[in-house]
Amino acid sequence: MIGDKKDNVEFIEEKQEKKESRFGSVKDLLDGSLIANDFIVRQLPYIVFLVILAFVYIANRYHAEKVVRANIELSKEISDLRAEAITTSSELMFISKQSEVAKRVKAKGLGLEDSVEPPKKIIIED
């Protein structure tokens, strides 16, 4: 009866499941299956947040460097203007001396002369 009875022998191939790694390989990255990975999909909002944060950090750095450059330029301009103001005030003090005014009036030929009398004080009585 052993011969009458059909013994069905089935070979069941056990598929060795590929051990899933969290990060994948370069091949997974290139064919796009890494992005479809469940772990990556769950972490996508956090990844987007980190990318936005990196852009904000870079923009802030560029803005800070721009402000520092502007500050240096303004400091140089202030220094130049301060030196110009000191030079101008010293020239003004020099040309406003009585002797210099008298020389300039004489050179221009205005016909003005120095007063030899001292000034008189005018008193108004009510």
Q: Note the pLDDT tens digit of each residue in 16-64.
A: 555 555 566 778 777 777 777 777 778 889 999 999 999 999 999 999 9
SS3 call for 72: helix
Q: Cα–Cα distance between 12 and 17 in angstroms, integer? A: 15
pLDDT digits (tens, 9 = 90+) for 5-16: 566 666 666 655
Name residue 39's amino acid.
F
Q: Cα–Cα distance between 90 and 49 in angstroms, integer? A: 61
